[in-house]
């Protein structure tokens, strides 16, 4: 078969333009909706407000040590984008436990991360943040094999520096386009020289106080930080506890009020306080029983992000939030505990050294 000079020129031009066309196709496939909103794609991660679940792994309705009614798959499906957990070394396995694995064991970190990966694979335009409370001060290198086994290292963001100002974080769109949509913080022992995707929390984020039992105490005062709080991202701990037998436990009876858009002790009120004090909303809002309020926590986040909130059906509470309800499982359990408190405390069964963060 003979080729004319014109044919040869056309073929050569096509070969030259092929990489450019491929690049153009790639550019055209950039994310246009990020974490549910087109407006967030060009927004730095440090300029976005995320709803987070406090002790996201502590799920159940029959244990005072639980903080959520639904597992992390449902949490993510409903719109939660920060998952906080507490990791313990349980006989050589990193387990997610509430102070003691005998008190509340939420399973292994590997299983937890596998669930996160499965959900993220099915939702490719979502950025998720993990916050791990490293309660046993494990070195970062002990977490690496777990992240590798769960196949999340390839989607984990690696900034290359140990601390970043809120304004220097990449945009949600770029994290999605680059396939590094999982951002993970350790509250201690992070070392990016050995595990580059496990980032130090308090070099990058400051927090408000936690374990509050007074709904009037939610403010925007720095409680913990290892950096410049004027430029760091920040997190508000907006979950209310009650005191049972001298120890703070989640107050599910007030969850509708605590998670509300407005009113005394509400999530919306604390965000407004922070906007007044800091000149910007918080980046992360940790809550208990996120579904109480029928989506109110997501409405608060939308307002903080300056986007229009669109209500959608989410999970419904598994326990009544009315303190007068005789069907409130936690209220009934609290009463039972008060009856047998002396026996439980004296035998060391109930609390021991109970820390509720």
Task: Please give the model's pTM, rounded to 2 decimal places.
Answer: 0.85
Q: Could you give the residue numbers annotated as active site?
A: 54, 98
Burial of residue 222 (CB within 10 Å: 0-12, 13-18, 19+) is: middle
CB half-sphere exposure, 256, CA atoms < 13 A: 10
Taking only the tens place, the pLDDT of each residue in 272-299 is 999 999 999 999 999 999 999 999 999 9
Instruction: Tell me if 76 sits within 8 A of 119, measured CB to CB.
Output: yes
Q: CA-to-CA distance for 26 and 3, rounded, in angstroms?
A: 33
Q: CA-to-CA distance for 288 and 291, rounded, in angstroms?
A: 9
Taking only the tens place, the pLDDT of each residue in 45-56 is 999 999 999 999
pLDDT score recorded for residue 319: 64
Burial of residue 66 (CB within 10 Å: 0-12, 13-18, 19+) is: buried
Q: CA-to-CA distance for 65 and 351, rounded, in angstroms?
A: 10
Q: CA-to-CA distance for 33 and 128, rounded, in angstroms?
A: 14
pLDDT score recorded for residue 261: 98
Matching residue, tokens 């550019």: 27
In this structure, the number of other CB atoms found within 10 A of the CB of residue 252 comes to 28
Q: What is the pLDDT along the chain (357 residues), one digit of tens a residue?
A: 454 555 554 545 454 444 444 444 444 458 999 999 999 999 999 999 999 999 999 999 877 879 999 999 999 999 999 999 999 999 999 999 987 888 788 999 999 999 999 999 999 999 999 999 999 999 999 999 999 999 999 999 999 999 999 999 999 999 999 999 999 999 999 999 999 999 999 999 999 999 999 999 999 999 999 999 999 999 999 999 999 888 889 999 999 999 999 999 999 999 999 999 999 999 999 999 999 999 999 999 999 999 999 999 999 999 644 443 333 434 434 444 443 343 343 334 444 334 445
Minimal CA–CA distance to 195: which of 262, 256, 129, 146?
146
pLDDT score recorded for residue 63: 78
**For the chain, how are helix, strand and coil distributed in percent, rounded to 5?**
35, 20, 45
Q: CA-to-CA distance for 355 and 357, rounded, in angstroms?
A: 6
N- to C-terminal Cα distance for the chain? 76
pLDDT score recorded for residue 100: 82
What residues have CB less than 8 Å from 73, skipping those under 6 apart?
A: 115, 118, 119
pLDDT score recorded for residue 247: 85
Tell me how long the chain is.
Answer: 357
Residue 97: which H helix or E strand, with range? strand 93-98
pLDDT score recorded for residue 186: 98
What residues have CB less than 8 Å from 48, skipping those under 6 apart?
A: 35, 40, 172, 283, 305
Minimal CA–CA distance to 183: which of 289, 50, 302, 299?
50
Phi, psi of 336 (to 5 degrees): -65, -40
Q: Report the largest interatomic distance among the alpha carbons of the chain, rounded to a whole angstrom.
A: 99
pLDDT score recorded for residue 75: 98
pLDDT score recorded for residue 269: 98
Burial of residue 81 (CB within 10 Å: 0-12, 13-18, 19+) is: buried
pLDDT score recorded for residue 181: 98
Q: CA-to-CA distance for 148 and 156, rounded, in angstroms?
A: 11
Instruction: Tell me if 284 sits within 8 A of 301, measured CB to CB.
Output: no
Minimal CA–CA distance to 259: which of 273, 274, 247, 270?
270
């Amino acid at each position: 078969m003979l080729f004319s000079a014109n044919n040869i020129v056309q073929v050569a031009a096509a070969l030259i333009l092929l990489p450019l066309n491929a690049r153009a196709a790639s550019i055209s496939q950039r994310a246009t909706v990020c974490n549910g909103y087109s407006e967030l794609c060009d927004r730095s991660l440090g300029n976005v407000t995320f709803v987070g679940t406090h002790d996201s792994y502590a799920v159940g309705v029959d244990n005072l040590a639980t903080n959520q009614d639904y597992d992390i798959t449902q949490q993510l499906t409903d719109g939660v984008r920060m998952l906080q957990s507490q990791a313990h070394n349980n006989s050589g396995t990193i387990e997610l436990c509430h102070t003691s694995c005998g008190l509340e064991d939420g399973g292994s970190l590997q299983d937890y991360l596998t669930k996160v990966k499965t959900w993220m694979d099915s939702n490719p335009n979502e950025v998720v943040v993990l916050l791990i409370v490293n309660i046993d001060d494990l070195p970062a290198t002990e977490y690496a094999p777990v992240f590798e086994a769960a196949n999340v290292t390839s989607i984990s963001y690696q900034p290359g520096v140990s601390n970043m100002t809120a304004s220097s974080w990449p945009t949600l769109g770029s994290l999605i386009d680059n396939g590094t949509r999982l951002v993970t913080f350790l509250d201690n022992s992070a070392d990016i020289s050995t595990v580059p995707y496990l980032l130090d929390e308090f070099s990058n984020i400051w927090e408000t106080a936690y374990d509050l039992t007074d709904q009037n105490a939610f403010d925007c005062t720095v409680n913990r930080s290892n950096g410049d709080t004027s430029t760091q991202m920040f997190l508000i701990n907006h979950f209310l506890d009650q005191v049972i037998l001298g120890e703070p436990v989640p107050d599910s009876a007030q969850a509708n009020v605590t998670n509300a858009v407005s009113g005394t002790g509400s999530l919306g009120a604390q965000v407004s306080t922070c906007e007044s004090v800091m000149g910007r909303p918080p980046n992360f809002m940790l809550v208990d029983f996120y579904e109480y309020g029928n989506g109110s926590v997501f409405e608060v986040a939308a307002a903080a992000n300056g986007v229009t909130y669109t209500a959608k059906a989410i999970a419904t509470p598994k326990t009544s939030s009315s303190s007068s309800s005789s069907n409130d499982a936690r209220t009934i359990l609290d009463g039972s505990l008060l009856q047998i408190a002396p026996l439980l405390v004296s035998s060391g069964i109930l609390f021991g050294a109970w820390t509720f963060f």
